A and B are shown apart, each in its own frame.
Chain A
Amino acid sequence: MAPENTPPNSRAAAPTAPRSASRARRVYMVTGGVTKFAKAHPAMDFRLMVKRAYNQALTEVPNLTREMIDGTRVSYFSDHFSRQLKAASMVHDYLGMNPKGSVRIEWGGATGGECFQAAYEAVASGRMDVCLAAGYETMSRVATWKGNEFIALASDTNYDFPLGGFYTGYYALMVQRHIYEYLRRRKFAHISDEREAQRLATEEGSRVMSWVSVKNHLNALHNPYAQYPKRLSVEDVLNSDMISYPITREQICTMSDGAAVVVLCSEERARELTDKPILVKGVGCGTDTMRLADRPFGSVPLLPHEKAGDYADLAYPGVHSFRAGRAAGREAYRHAGIENPTRELDFVELHDAYASSEIQTYEDLGLCRYGEGYDYVLRGDPFLKQVDYPFDLPRAGAMPVNPSGGLIACGHPVGATGLMQAVFAFWQLQGTIAEHFGDATLQLDHPKRGAIHSHAGTGSAVTVSILERGFP
């Protein structure tokens, strides 16, 4: 997308016609599986972890056999964590899939989301009738700070990494500017002492980020797959270690070991396999510059329910917003025929590697306007009605975001994460949360449509996929 303000906006304002849907075959998700995410699973290597998730997926759909699977798409993020090149081949091999077709998918933090879409494409194109998407990460094999170094190698090694390559630092730079644009220049615009105004704005931003952390950790208390379910207060979050100002430890996801699989198939196969298929209604992907420093200052690519006048003075995306997330959302909504996500989605599982990026992502996905993310949290929209939070939330349940607990509470074994979101969303839409979690609390009331969102380093790539109940 060019930084100019003309073509993308004018296209967005036009009626949305499904662009790729016409020629693509309809693709359904019929089952999924996920291991519990944990700090370390030293008793399982990556192959066995995937095999366990795969066994769960196949057990749940008795008519599905290995012979029916036409091929695989396998994702893991880092060869450094595996210290095993061609590890995806070894997963495919371990599952007994040879000599069927396979390819490894890697796209930073969005690896799992990309893997889901690669499997979608294999089926939509007619190349396969049944495709297995499998992902994993084994991050416990190196010490935490070494792991951070490996992750930071996914930033420019000429200009970014040597300065102290550290992803939390990069996200802190982004949220500081987000706070400046939307809290300092709005809520605290009346304060003339610049340092004081910025201090107050950051304090407010940190408080709201803590609400997000409290929400996701509390949701996860009802999700047995989550790595860190817990009851936290805002003070607990704010008083946890300051990692990169203003982001604290409890506002960040952790490193994990884990695996997840998804089985996608054609409509015909879906009807044979299950009476509760879930339709992949739309897919989208967007990208942005690897270096934060290169992000342009243009205007906002609009969603159908937005107007150019909403953002007259906004230099976009700068480092405060994720243009890749906006582009991915636009493509997925257009593909799915969604005009207004606030009305046409029932929940979102999004990539909250940082509490800050959850707030930024509400805006990218058009759940609220750019600049409204903080108020959106305080009003309660992304909270669940049925969970008891220590807040007064007049709009709780309006748009449940990360009902599963998200990355912050479930963990983030990178290559598995985007597929884990698909599995949780699948169970939500099937109405089978109670049987999978042994606890019905997180089950939403007959959700029809949900979005999953996977995000790579500093927003350099984002995928959005729309899932819809495919049965009465």
Chain B
Amino acid sequence: MRAPPKTFEEFRQVQAELERSGAAIFRDKDGFEALVIKSPYSIQYIHSYAEDTPFFLGLAEGKLQGSKCSGCGFVYATPRSHCMVCGEPTRWTELPRTGTVHSWTTCRFGSEAFLKETPYNLCLVEFEGAQSLLLARLKECTESEIYIGMPVEARFDPNPKYSITDVWFVPAGKRPPTSSPAPPRRSRSASRRAPPTPRNPRLRKPARAAGGTRRKGGARRADRSR
């Protein structure tokens, strides 16, 4: 016979007791008692990258790929195999290694899976010639150094895990920490001081100014919906 579980009036105490013995009684303000147990819940999920596979295989080769619409020419920095503007299939296109920070944050807390990695920086990266962004980790810099418009460049994991974390960004011109410090590249350090010029005008202006390709895409879409 098992002794009855211990009774608590604070949920926090219930949680602690579950860690100890796996069962507890919670008594609420009205005197109602509930038996609470700990119940494990974990799975290994079989995740297929399916049509996104070339992107992740590319990362393992140090290659950063977006996708370009075969219909309207829209370039996605985060690839999609079909265009959201016109619905046509896209083809793979290599992105520049360098871009600029469109927005950023430093996460000091995170989901359970990532708590041990905190603090970490996230950034959305703009690329010359692409009309959408890429979300990535931003490393080798601290909160006080990062700003919107900061030039960044891609780094790749030499031991790829076939995850989006196989690519990350660092401040452009930064040498890998192991090698001897090189003199800063003049053009880069100059651009850090200057206000971020719109490197990619398509991300800064209304579609009106973005050139013919998108308007053409829109027209195609309108035709289809009729």
Among B88-96, B111-119, B152-160, B178-186, the one that faces the other chain is: B111-119
Give the CA-CA distance A296 to B104 in the complex, in Å.
Answer: 18
Using C-beta atoms within 8 Å of the partner chain, give the interface range for chain B: 35 or more
A7, A198, A311, A312 — most chain B CB neighbours (10 Å): A198
- Is the pair B131, A297 in contact by a Cβ cutoff of 8 Å? yes
In the complex formed, the residue of B with least CB distance to A166 is B110
Q: Check if B133 is an interface residue, CB within 8 A of chain A.
A: yes
Q: Check if A22 is an interface residue, CB within 8 A of chain B.
A: no
Q: Which residues of chain A are within 8 angstroms of B204 by Cβ–Cβ distance?
A: 297, 315
Given known contacts A165-B113, A173-B104, A291-B78, A314 and B206 CB-to-CB distance under 8 angstroms: yes
Give the CA-CA distance A318 to B115 in the complex, in Å.
Answer: 28
Minimum CB–CB distance from B48 to chain A (whole Å) comes to 10
Q: Which residues of chain B are within 8 angstroms of A143 by Cβ–Cβ distance?
A: 15, 112
Given known contacts A4-B218, A297-B131, A195 and B105 CB-to-CB distance under 8 angstroms: no
Give the CA-CA distance A289 to B104 in the complex, in Å.
Answer: 19
Q: Check if A342 is an interface residue, CB within 8 A of chain B.
A: no
- Of B111, B134, B222, the residue contacting A149 (CB under 8 A) is B111
Q: Check if B175 is an interface residue, CB within 8 A of chain A.
A: no
- Is the pair A40, B206 in contact by a Cβ cutoff of 8 Å? no
Q: Which residues of chain B are within 8 angstroms of A4 by Cβ–Cβ distance?
A: 207, 214-215, 217-218
Given known contacts A159-B164, A298-B207, A39 and B148 CB-to-CB distance under 8 angstroms: no
Give the CA-CA distance A69 to B148 in the complex, in Å.
Answer: 55
User: Would you list which residues of chain B between 198 and 216 have a CB under 8 Å from chain A?
Assistant: 202-208, 210, 214-215
Give the CA-CA distance A6 to B188 in the complex, in Å.
Answer: 38
Q: Check if A67 is an interface residue, CB within 8 A of chain B.
A: no
- Of B107, B132, B145, the residue contacting A168 (CB under 8 A) is B107
Q: Which residues of chain B are within 8 angstroms of A192 by Cβ–Cβ distance?
A: 195
Using C-beta atoms within 8 Å of the partner chain, give the interface range for chain A: 35 or more
Q: Check if B77 is an interface residue, CB within 8 A of chain A.
A: yes
Give the CA-CA distance A163 to B136 in the complex, in Å.
Answer: 7
Given known contacts A42-B26, A148-B110, A292-B135, A3 and B85 CB-to-CB distance under 8 angstroms: yes
Minimum CB–CB distance from A235 to chain B (whole Å) comes to 19
Given known contacts A149-B111, A315-B206, A83 and B41 CB-to-CB distance under 8 angstroms: yes
Q: List 16 A-B residue pairs with CB atoms under 8 Å apart, sorted by A's residue number.
A: A5-B206, A42-B28, A159-B78, A163-B137, A168-B109, A173-B103, A177-B102, A192-B195, A195-B147, A241-B108, A244-B107, A244-B109, A245-B105, A292-B124, A297-B207, A318-B203
| Residues of chain B at the chain A interface (Cβ within 8 Å) | 11, 14-15, 26-28, 30, 32-34, 36, 39, 41, 47, 49, 52, 76-78, 80, 84-85, 102-115, 117, 120, 122-124, 131-137, 143, 145, 147-149, 163-165, 192-196, 202-208, 210, 214-215, 217-218, 221-222
